[in-house]
Structure 1
Amino acid sequence: MYLTQVLHQALQQDPTRPLTVYGDRTRTVAETVDRVSRLASALRELGVGPDDRVAMLGLNSDYYHDYLLAVPWADAVLNPVNYRWSPAEMCHSLAESGCRVLLVGEHFVDIVPQLRERCPDLATVVFYGDGDCPEGMVDGRRLVAESTPVPDARRGGDALFGIFYTGGTTGLPKGVMLSHQAVLVNALGTMATGEWGSHDGRMLHVAPMFHLADIFIWLTGMINRATHVFLASFTPAGIFDALERERINDVLLVPTMLQVMVDSPELAGRDLSSVRQVTYGTSPMSEALLAQAGAMFPNARFAQAYGMTELAPVATVLTPRDHEDPSLRRSAGRPAPHSEVRIVDPDDVEVPRGSVGEIVARGVHMMSGYWNRPEETAAALRGGWMHTGDAGYMDDRGYVFVVDRLKDMIISGGENVYSAEVEFALSRHPAVAACAVIGVPDAQWGERVHAVVVPAAGAAPTLAELQQFCRQQIAAYKLPRSLETTDALPVSGAGKVLKRVLRAQHWAAAGRQI
């Protein structure tokens, strides 16, 4: 199995079908194949050989689409760069992975001098975007125009597809190595649930394409013969315009995006009836937000995928049919056909159904390991299972419920408090737009349950009000004992709340984070 196989099939079966849309530019399958084969040729002319890493720093666009296909076509390895990082963090990933060629879009040319200064081994920086090529950079569009197409290397199987750096929610990002068969089996296995995506539909990419979640959605779209529409960045007006104008059928959104959308005055009068499926991840949605999102997309089914980069990335799926059962909406679904999942204790012994333990998974979709980190690889993959670091339980029907990150569990007065459970209770209050719960130092209890809340528009929730509301849902020892409000929660590039940032100010004097 090799990833570019889907492109060859599209060329054989429907070469004139629109494949990509970016702004007012539409390219067919045949045009894309020509560009991909020429970009692969250009990379080889720049000295890229088998297994070399090629990085991309750019916003969502058809150029990014070219990159995802041309690098394996050239028998090389993808290394997407998180554009939300600082130059120092970018250089960490580039240097650690040994990347010598970097493609840069027009939005990031200003930081190239810093990257060159910090990354002396970065031999070639290629401008690959719209506008004029800056001085000192290789003009990628000219190279593509002048290069002779090369045959596809048909890189696949166990060969490395890409190195994807983790979001860094727990510290310094690690390079996750994923093979071609891992990402392909993951996509096909997820689609085998029978309720995934639209055939011959139109897919919008607004989540950042450097993240594996959108690359996964992109690959399912390639298999489903989708036309891919790219939005460079997320704004309420921009996404509503794209959904309406392009008559989008499928879209990946994180709950934080959906919250912004349902709260936006830009929503009024919009026709979003074309949307058939909304896929979300990073966390379950509150019942209130799910209801609001359902009203916003009246013809859409909702599907949740749970997993992590190390699992390429899907382990479990909550299908649209599962969403019809209110008791399941807090779950992460059941293991996808390609994934085996268990809940284990600290000795890796499976725990009884309903008991909380660590979620572990295994299958062909597991990572090959962390780049140049054998000890951390061995720890994560001990016993042949990927240890997710998430705490959860499995019910009698095999549905997995994620209750927390293990490191985010709060031990207050000797009792284990899972922050996700408290967050779920808080999120149901109408005055709460978003929230995060962390443990903070407490002289009496060791740790105190602390709520960080983004109030709903015009609301000013008090601690006593929220405690009284939550008391009807969770045990008294789980109630938040302190409260702070904020305009927004800090999030990673994947849309996950960065609790380490929230904890830092409270634990600085303690010299630790938990």
Structure 2
Amino acid sequence: MEITQALHRAVQQTPDRPATVLGDRVRTWAECGDRVARLAAALRGLGIGDGDRVAMLSLNSDRFHEYLFAVPWAGGVVTPVNIRWSPAEIAFSLEDAGVTVLLVDDTFLPAVPAIRAAAPVLRTVVHCGDGAPPEGTVGFEELVAGHEPVDDARRGGAEPYGIYYTGGTTGTPKGVVLSHANLLASALGSTASGAFTSPGGRYLHAAPMFHLADGAAWVARNVVGGTHVIVPMFTPAGVAEAIARHEVTDVLLVPTMVQMLVDAPEAADADLSSLRHLLYGASPISEAVLERAAKRLPAAEFTQAYGMTELSPVATLLLPADHGVDRLRRSAGRAAPHSEVRIVDEDDREVPRGTVGEIVARGPHVMLGYWNRPEETATALRGGWMHTGDGGTMDDEGYVYVVDRIKDMIVSGGENVYSVEVENALAKHPDVATCAVIGVPDDEWGERVHAVVVPVPGAAPGADELREHVKGLIAGYKAPRTVELRDALPVSGAGKILKRELRAEHWPRGDRGVS
């Protein structure tokens, strides 16, 4: 099993079909295969050999697609860079992974001097823009044009395909090492569900391509064949225009993107009728947002994927048929075909159904480990199960309900409060566009439930109004004691709400000890 096998098959079977569409630039699978083989030759010329790491710092692009194929073709290991990181954080990941070659687009060129100063391991910077390469860099297009194609190194199976750094919401980044077999097992298992992607369809890269959520969809699209439609980054208007213009059939969005797309006035008149599959995940979605999305996209089937980078990344799937059952819409679905899931206590014993514990998973999709962190790897994979750090329950039919990150649970007056439950209740208020619930210090209760709310345009719901609304849906002690209104919530490059940043305003010394 190797990631590049899909490219060989596409070149053989559908050479004239569009492989990538970026604005007005269309490249066929035959062109893609030729460019990948030439870029791989160039990487070898830059010293990339078996297992060497190559990083990319870029917005979404067709060149990003080619990078994801060319690095293993050359024998290397991809190391996509989080575009929201500071130069110091980027340099840390490059040094940690031993990256010697970095591909950078025009957007991030200004950060290169600071990155180079802090990452002496870096030898070569490749410019991925359309213009002439700046001094001190080599040009992507010049490398492709100046090299003859080379044979595929045929890396695959248990060999590492990529190192994906986590930490946008959890503190110090850790490199998650995933093999070709890990990623293909997740893609094949998810595709076997019948609701992950359309064979031969057109998938829109709206989520960032550096992130494995989109990366998993990239692998799945290659497995079943079709076309990659690409926008540089998510905007509601840009995504709506791309769906309408290119008749996109499939898209993956994180919940914040779903909310923005269906609520944006600038996307209200776009024809989104071609969309057949909307895959969402990476963080919880409120039932209210899901209902609005279903009304806006009546032809689309909805599938939720729950998992994490360490699981390549899919563990469970909530399929389209499940979305028609009220109680199941609150769940994350059941174990995907390639995955085994259970709920355990602190001693790793499976708990009775309906009892809150930690969600753990095992299967061929479980990571090889954390890069150069054997102790953390052993802790995470103890007993052969990946310990997610998520609290959840499982019902008698095997549906998993994620109640919270274990570290996110709020303990107020001795009662456990799960922020996801409160957020779902808040989101049902008509004046709430999106929200986040955290625990903040309280002299009387230890912690109190605090809500940060982004209202819909023109609305300004009061704290008492929102609190009474929540009390009408869940237990009163779970209702937020304090509420603040904001124009926006801090989000990571993957679109996850950064509760760590919200908490830091209330726990300046990090007393709570959570990330």
TM-score, normalised to structure 1's length?
Answer: 0.98
State the match for 1:173 in structure 2: 173
The one-letter code sitting in structure 1 at the alignment partner of 2:121 is: D
State the match for 1:299 in structure 2: 299
Q: How does 1:301-340 map to 2 (within 5 A)?
A: 301-340=301-340
State the match for 2:459 in structure 1: 459
Distance apart, 1:513 and its partner CA? 4.1
Q: How does 1:154-165 map to 2 (within 5 A)?
A: 154-165=154-165
Give the secondary structure class of the aligned counterpart of 2:21.
strand
Matched, 1:10 2:10: yes
Give the secondary structure class of the aligned counterpart of 1:470.
helix
Instruction: Please list the CA deviations of residues 228-260 of structure 1 after superposition, one character each: whole Å capped at 9, or x if unmatched.
Output: 011001122211111111111101111111211
The alignment covers a number of residue pairs equal to 514
Q: How many Å separate the matches in 2 of 1:67 and 1:228?
A: 14
State the match for 2:396 in structure 1: 396
Matched, 1:263 2:252: no
Q: How does 1:359-374 map to 2 (within 5 A)?
A: 359-374=359-374
Q: How many Å separate the matches in 2 of 1:284 and 1:372?
A: 31
Q: Which sits farther off after the overlay, 468-477 or 177-186?
A: 468-477
Q: How many Å separate the matches in 2 of 1:281 and 1:196?
A: 12
Q: Call closer, same or farther: CA 1:112–1:406 in 2, change over 3 Å.
A: same
Distance apart, 1:510 and its partner CA? 7.0
The ranges of structure 1 where at least 4 consecutive aligned residues each deviate by more than 6 angstroms after the TM superposition are none
State the match for 1:217 in structure 2: 217
State the match for 2:246 in structure 1: 246
Give the secondary structure class of the aligned counterpart of 1:364.
coil
Q: How many Å separate the matches in 2 of 1:3 and 1:458?
A: 48
State the match for 1:274 in structure 2: 274
Residue 500 of structure 1 contacts residue 513 of structure 1 at CA under 8 Å; is this kept in 2? no
Q: How many Å separate the matches in 1 of 2:268 and 2:32?
A: 37
TM-score, normalised to structure 2's length?
Answer: 0.98
Matched, 1:43 2:43: yes
Give the secondary structure class of the aligned counterpart of 2:390.
strand
State the match for 2:499 in structure 1: 499
State the match for 1:233 in structure 2: 233
Matched, 1:97 2:77: no
Q: How many Å separate the matches in 1 of 2:139 and 2:246?
A: 31
State the match for 1:381 in structure 2: 381
Give the secondary structure class of the aligned counterpart of 2:36.
helix
Distance apart, 1:21 and its partner CA? 0.7
Instruction: Please list the CA deviations of residues 387-420 of structure 1 after superposition, one character each: whole Å capped at 9, or x if unmatched.
Output: 1000000011100000000000011111111111
Which structure 1 segments of 5+ residues have no match?
none
State the match for 2:137 in structure 1: 137
The one-letter code sitting in structure 1 at the alignment partner of 2:272 is: L
Distance apart, 1:267 and its partner CA? 2.3
State the match for 1:342 in structure 2: 342
Matched, 1:196 2:208: no
Give the secondary structure class of the aligned counterpart of 1:321.
helix
Matched, 1:284 2:284: yes
Give the secondary structure class of the aligned counterpart of 2:272.
coil
Give the secondary structure class of the aligned counterpart of 2:383.
helix
Residue 437 of structure 1 contacts residue 452 of structure 1 at CA under 8 Å; is this kept in 2? yes
Distance apart, 1:321 and its partner CA? 1.2
Q: How many Å separate the matches in 1 of 2:300 and 2:512?
A: 45
Residue 106 of structure 1 contacts residue 131 of structure 1 at CA under 8 Å; is this kept in 2? no
Q: How many Å separate the matches in 2 of 1:287 and 1:8?
A: 42
Distance apart, 1:270 and its partner CA? 1.6
| Root-mean-square deviation (Å) | 1.2
Distance apart, 1:369 and its partner CA? 0.7
Residue 284 of structure 1 contacts residue 331 of structure 1 at CA under 8 Å; is this kept in 2? no
State the match for 1:30 in structure 2: 30
Distance apart, 1:127 and its partner CA? 1.1
The one-letter code sitting in structure 1 at the alignment partner of 2:231 is: L
Give the secondary structure class of the aligned counterpart of 2:102.
strand
Residue 279 of structure 2 contacts residue 302 of structure 2 at CA under 8 Å; is this kept in 1? yes
Q: How many Å separate the matches in 1 of 2:86 and 2:248?
A: 33
State the match for 1:112 in structure 2: 112
Residue 213 of structure 2 contacts residue 282 of structure 2 at CA under 8 Å; is this kept in 1? no
Instruction: Please list the CA deviations of residues 46-79 of structure 1 after superposition, one character each: whole Å capped at 9, or x if unmatched.
Output: 1111000000111111100100000011111000
Q: Which sits farther off after the overlay, 71-80 or 276-285?
A: 276-285
Residue 281 of structure 2 contacts residue 305 of structure 2 at CA under 8 Å; is this kept in 1? yes
Q: Call closer, same or farther: CA 1:513–1:66 in 2, change over 3 Å.
A: same
Q: How many Å separate the matches in 1 of 2:58 and 2:363?
A: 32
Residue 361 of structure 1 contacts residue 387 of structure 1 at CA under 8 Å; is this kept in 2? yes
Give the secondary structure class of the aligned counterpart of 1:252.
strand
Distance apart, 1:509 and its partner CA? 5.7
Which structure 2 segments of 5+ residues have no match?
none
